[in-house]
Structure 1
Amino acid sequence: MADNNPFQLLGSRRFLPFFCTQFLGAFNDNVFKNALIVMIAFRLAASEANFLINLAAGLFILPFFLFSATAGQIADKTDKSILIRRIKLAEIAIGVFGAFALFSGNNYLCLAILFLLGVQSSFFGPVKYAILPQHLRKTELVSGNALVEMGTFVSILLGTIVGGLLAGRTGEGESGILWISGIVVTVATVGYLAARAIPQAIAPAPDLKINYNPVSQTRRILKEAAKTPSVFYAIIGISWFWLLGAAYLTQIPSLTKNVLGGSESLVTLLLCCFTIGVAIGSILCGRLSRGRVELGLVPIGAAGLTVAGVLLGSVTGNFSPSTEMTVATFWSTDGALSILVNLTLIGIFGGFYIVPLYSMMQARSAPEIRARIIAVNNVLNALFMVVAAIMGIVFLNILGATIPQFFLIIALMNAAVAVFVFTKVPEFTMRLLIWLLSHTMYRVKHEGLEQVPEEGPAIIACNHVSYVDALLLAGAVHRPIRFIMYKPIYEIPVLHFIFKTSRAIPICSKQKDPEGYARAFEAIEQGLKDGDLLCIFPEGQLTQDGELQPFKAGIEKILQRNPVPVIPMALQGLWGSFFSHKDGHAFSTWPKRFWSSVKVVAGPPLAAAAVKAEVLQEKVLALRGQQR
C-alpha cells in the first residue's frame, strides 16, 4: 500500500493512532522543557541561569542512561499497545504535577518534573520503534519510519516554538503558566486517547526475566547486536547522526547571535530550515526506497551531510552581518540564502541517512530482542549527544575554534565515520552501486514481483542478457537475493566486490572445476536450508544473439536435493544495452545505446515437482515475449 506514497499509511489504523501518540508525546516534552529553560533564562541572574539550564539538559537525558535497558526488556515482555497506554497515563499524571510545579514557581521542583518526563520518554523510546515491524508489512517499514522521523522533528520544532512563546508571557502574570499547564495536560490526555486505538502488539518474550542492572544489561545486548554486524553498525551510524544533529542544533543560538548578528526570530528560522529539511528528506527517502530498506541511500546521505556541512561552515565563516540583523535584513545580506539552503540540505541528507538505518535495525533484529536492541541504541544516542556537548566545549572553549570552524570539523569527521562504517559493512556501498545503476543508465519497471514470496526458501530462474542482470534483479526484488552465477562473471573487477558482498555463489562446469562445482552445490543446499532466496540463470552464460539459449539441467539437480518453489522471471529491453553482447563483446565495441528502459517480469511460482528445464525455458520465454 505505502510502497511509493508514505502518507497513505496515515489512513491505516495500524499506523495512524501510533503516529498521533508519538507526535503528541514529543511535542509535549519540548513544550515543557523549552518553556522551563526560557523562564529560567529570563527570571534569574546569568550565572544561576546557566547552571540550571545545563542541569535541565542533563536531567532530561539522564533517564536514558538509567532506564533504557530496563525499558527495552519490559517492551519485549509486554504487549506494546498496553504498555504505551500505561506510559501515556503516566504522562497525564506528570503533566498535572508539572502544572503545580509551574504555579509554585519552584525551579527545582520544575526540574524534577523534567526528569520525570525524561523517564517517561526513555520508556517510550524502545516501544516507539519496536512496534513498527509488528504492525507494518516489510514493504511499509521504510515509509513508517520516514513518517515517524518527520513527525518527531516537526513535533520537536513546534513544541520548542510554542514553549518559548508561552514562556514569554509568564512575565505578564499567570496567564502564560496557565496556557503551558493547560496545553501539557490536554495534549497528554489526547495522546492517551489516541493510544487506546493502537492495535494489539503481542509480546515476543513474555517469559523474559528482567535484569535491572543498566550497565550489565546494556553490555549484554550490545554483544548480541554485534553478532549481526549490520545491526551493530546501524546503531553506530544512528548514534553518530544524533551527535551530528545535537552539535549543529546546540550551536544555532550562539551562531545566530555571535556570528550572524541576529535575534531570536532568526534562531527560529534556522531551526525551521533544519527541521523542514529532515521532514523532506525522510519522506523523499520513503518514496525513493519503493517499499524496501534501500541501504544505497545511506552513503548518499552521508556524502550530502559532509558536503553541506563543509559549505555551511565556509559560508558562515565569511558572513558579514549588518549592525542590526533582523530576519528581513538577513534575507538581503550576501550569503544568507546559502546558509539557509545548506542548513536545509543537512536536514534532507540527514533524512536519507537516518531512515534506512532505523529500518535496517528493526528489520534485522531478532523479534524477541528487538525492543532491547532499540533500547541500547537509545543509550548510545544519549551518550553520543553528551559527547557532542563535550566536543563543543573542547573545540570552542578550550581550543578556541570559531563556530564555523567547528562545523567544518564535524563535517569532516562525518566523512571519516562514514568510511569506517561502510568499510565494516560493504553492503552499503554495494546497494549504492545498484541504486545508481538502476536510476541512471537503466530505467527499470516491474511487473508481477508480488509473486516472489516474502520469506522462506525459493529460487528465481531468469534469462541472462547482460553483465548487470544480477544487479538489476537485486535492485528490483524486495528481498535480498543470493545469485548462482558463472564464475568468470563473478570474478569481474568491481562486480566481484558486489557479488561477494551479496554472498553470490560462483559456479562453472563440472569438467572445468569439479571441486568448485561440488562446493557450489553445497552452498546452494545450505542456503535453501537457511531460507535464502536464490537466483539462477539456467542458460549458464550470457546470450550471444539476444535469444534464449537452452536451459541446462542444473536447476533440476538442485530441486532434487531441495524441493522449493521456483519463480520464473524475465528481463526485457537489455539486449543492445551497454553491457550486452549485441554486435560483439560488451566491452570491445561501442554499444547501440547507453540508456535503456528495462522491465522485470515475474510469473507465478512453480512447484518443484513440475519444473523441468524445457518447461521452465518456455515459461521464461513467454514472460519475456518479443521484447529482448
Structure 2
Amino acid sequence: MEPVYGTVIQAARLVWRVQGLKFTITGVENLPVTGGAVIAINHTSYFDFTFAGLPAYKQHRGRKVRFMAKKEVFDSKVSGPIMRSLRHIPVDRDSGAQSFSEACQRLKEGELVGVYPEATISRSFEIKEFKSGAARMAIAADVPIIPHIIWGAQRIWTKGHPRKMWRPKVPISITVGEPIYPTLPAAELTALLHSRMQHLLERAQDAYGPHPHGEFWVPHRLGGGAPTLAEANRMDLEEATQKAQAKAARRDERSAPGDPPE
C-alpha cells in the first residue's frame, strides 16, 4: 500500500475535474499486467508526467509509474519530500550513472519506470532527437519499452507560454503503443523507438480534432504557430549555452579569492 501516491492521484483527478479536462485513452491493452517496463513519453508540457501514469493506473488496478525527474525537483523543500515519498528517481544530468543504475534495479524488480527520451520539452511539439537512456535501460533490465504519446497538454502549460490552469476545458489524448522488446543494440533500438513514437504522434494528432491555424500549441507542420523542429533546436541550443555560461560565472565567483586587505 502506498497511501501518499493514492492521495496524490485522487487530488490530481479532482483538479482535472475542476479544470474540465476530457481524456481519451487508447492502447491500454499494450501495458503489461505485471513485470517491469520502460514507459517512454513524449514531452510537450510541464504536466506530461501527471497524465502519463493514468493508463497503467486505470487499466491495471493501480499500477504506478516511477518517473525519472531532474534532481532540482527533489532538492526543493516543497516538491522534494513528495517526490521521494512517491519513490520517483532523481536524475543528476551532470552524473547520470547512479540514476541509471537505480532505474534498472527498479525495472528488474518489476516496476514501471517513466522516462522522457527527448530529455526536455519540445518547443515545436514534434518528436525531438532521442537520448539513448530508455533503450539502454530496457536492454540492461531485459524489459520492453512501452511508448506513450500525450497530446493536448501543451495547451495548459508549456515552455515559453503562460499557464492556463483555471478551467481550460481542453481534450487530452493519451495513446499507448505496442511493446518494443530489447532485441537490438541501443542505437538501433533508440531509432526504432523514435520512429514508433513519431507514428503514434501523427495518429494521435489525426484523431484529436481541429488544429486551429496559427495557434501557439499547433505544430508548424499542421499550420500552427509553433516553431519548426529546426527553429526549436536552435532555441534550445541558445538556452543551453546561456545556462552554461551563467553556471560557469557562478563557479568563477565562488572560486575567486577574497578582496585584498586595505
Q: TM-score, normalised by structure 1?
A: 0.29
After TM superposition, give the deviation of residue 462 of structure 1 in Å: 1.0
After TM superposition, give the deviation of residue 571 of structure 1 in Å: 0.4
Aligned residue among 162, 175, 191 for 1:614: 191
How big is each residue's C-alpha offset from its partner over 1:401-459, in whole Å with a ceiling of 9 and x where there is no partner? xxxxxxxxxxxxxxxxxxxxxxxx42343122222233333322200011100101111
Q: Which residue of 1 aligns with 2:46?
A: 467
After TM superposition, give the deviation of residue 624 of structure 1 in Å: 1.5
- Seq. identity, %: 25
- 2:130 matches 1:556: no
Q: Which residue of 2 aligns with 1:602?
A: 176
- Give the 3-state SS of the residue equivalent to 1:522 in structure 2: helix
- Give the 3-state SS of the residue equivalent to 1:426 in structure 2: helix
After TM superposition, give the deviation of residue 607 of structure 1 in Å: 0.9
Aligned residue among 471, 478, 484 for 2:68: 484
Aligned residue among 190, 201, 209 for 1:624: 201
Q: Which residue of 1 aligns with 2:144?
A: 565
How big is each residue's C-alpha offset from its partner over 1:208-227, in whole Å with a ceiling of 9 and x where there is no partner? xxxxxxxxxxxxxxxxxxxx
Q: Which residue of 2 aligns with 1:451?
A: 30
Q: Name the structure where strand makes up a greater proportion of residues.
A: 2
Task: Tell me which amino acid in the other structure corresponds to 1:533.
Answer: L
Q: Which residue of 1 aligns with 2:15?
A: 437
Task: Tell me which amino acid in the other structure corresponds to 1:430.
Answer: V
User: Are the equivalent residues in 1 in contact too, given 2:22–2:170 (CA < 8 A)?
Assistant: yes
Q: Which residue of 2 aligns with 1:49?
A: none
Structure 1 residues 547 and 454, CA, compared in 2 at 3 Å: closer, same or farther? same
- Give the 3-state SS of the residue equivalent to 2:83 in structure 1: helix
How big is each residue's C-alpha offset from its partner over 1:446-504, in whole Å with a ceiling of 9 and x where there is no partner? 00011100101111111011122111122332211111223345556755454333211
Question: Aligned partners of 1:427 and 1:456: how far apart in 2?
Answer: 19
- Give the 3-state SS of the residue equivalent to 1:546 in structure 2: coil
Structure 1 residues 450 and 590, CA, compared in 2 at 3 Å: closer, same or farther? closer
Q: Which residue of 2 aligns with 1:298?
A: none
Greater relative contact order, per chain length (Cα 8 Å cut-off, separation 6+): 2
User: Are the equivalent residues in 2 in contact too, given 1:438–1:472 (CA < 8 A)?
Assistant: no
Structure 1 residues 561 and 598, CA, compared in 2 at 3 Å: closer, same or farther? same
After TM superposition, give the deviation of residue 556 of structure 1 in Å: 2.6
Task: Tell me which amino acid in the other structure corresponds to 2:196.
Answer: K
Q: Which residue of 1 aligns with 2:154?
A: 575
User: Are the equivalent residues in 1 in contact too, given 2:105–2:141 (CA < 8 A)?
Assistant: no
Residue ranges of structure 1 left out of the alignment (5+ in a row): 1-229, 232-424
Question: Aligned partners of 1:535 and 1:569: how far apart in 2?
Answer: 10
How big is each residue's C-alpha offset from its partner over 1:247-267, in whole Å with a ceiling of 9 and x where there is no partner? xxxxxxxxxxxxxxxxxxxxx
User: Are the equivalent residues in 1 in contact too, given 2:37–2:138 (CA < 8 A)?
Assistant: no
Question: Aligned partners of 2:92 and 2:130: how far apart in 1?
Answer: 15
Q: Which residue of 1 aligns with 2:244?
A: none
Task: Tell me which amino acid in the other structure corresponds to 1:622.
Answer: H
User: Are the equivalent residues in 2 in contact too, given 1:484–1:506 (CA < 8 A)?
Assistant: yes
Residue ranges of structure 2 left out of the alignment (5+ in a row): 58-62, 209-217, 219-262
Structure 1 residues 460 and 486, CA, compared in 2 at 3 Å: closer, same or farther? same
Question: Aligned partners of 1:490 and 1:557: how far apart in 2?
Answer: 24
After TM superposition, give the deviation of residue 567 of structure 1 in Å: 0.8
Aligned residue among 501, 504, 507 for 2:91: 507
Question: Aligned partners of 1:438 and 1:476: how far apart in 2?
Answer: 15
Q: Which residue of 2 aligns with 1:531?
A: 110
User: Are the equivalent residues in 1 in contact too, given 2:138–2:182 (CA < 8 A)?
Assistant: yes
Structure 1 residues 501 and 443, CA, compared in 2 at 3 Å: closer, same or farther? farther
How big is each residue's C-alpha offset from its partner over 1:340-371, in whole Å with a ceiling of 9 and x where there is no partner? xxxxxxxxxxxxxxxxxxxxxxxxxxxxxxxx
User: Are the equivalent residues in 2 in contact too, given 1:434–1:474 (CA < 8 A)?
Assistant: no
How big is each residue's C-alpha offset from its partner over 1:38-71, in whole Å with a ceiling of 9 and x where there is no partner? xxxxxxxxxxxxxxxxxxxxxxxxxxxxxxxxxx
Question: Aligned partners of 2:45 and 2:74: how far apart in 1?
Answer: 13
Structure 1 residues 547 and 445, CA, compared in 2 at 3 Å: closer, same or farther? same
Aligned residue among 497, 519, 524 for 2:98: 519
Task: Tell me which amino acid in the other structure corresponds to 2:192.
Answer: V
Question: Aligned partners of 2:199 and 2:102: how far apart in 1?
Answer: 30
Larger radius of gyration: 1
Q: CA RMSD in A?
A: 2.5
Q: TM-score, normalised by structure 2?
A: 0.66
- Give the 3-state SS of the residue equivalent to 1:543 in structure 2: coil
Structure 1 residues 618 and 495, CA, compared in 2 at 3 Å: closer, same or farther? farther
User: Are the equivalent residues in 2 in contact too, given 1:486–1:540 (CA < 8 A)?
Assistant: no
User: Are the equivalent residues in 1 in contact too, given 2:149–2:201 (CA < 8 A)?
Assistant: yes
User: Are the equivalent residues in 1 in contact too, given 2:38–2:134 (CA < 8 A)?
Assistant: no
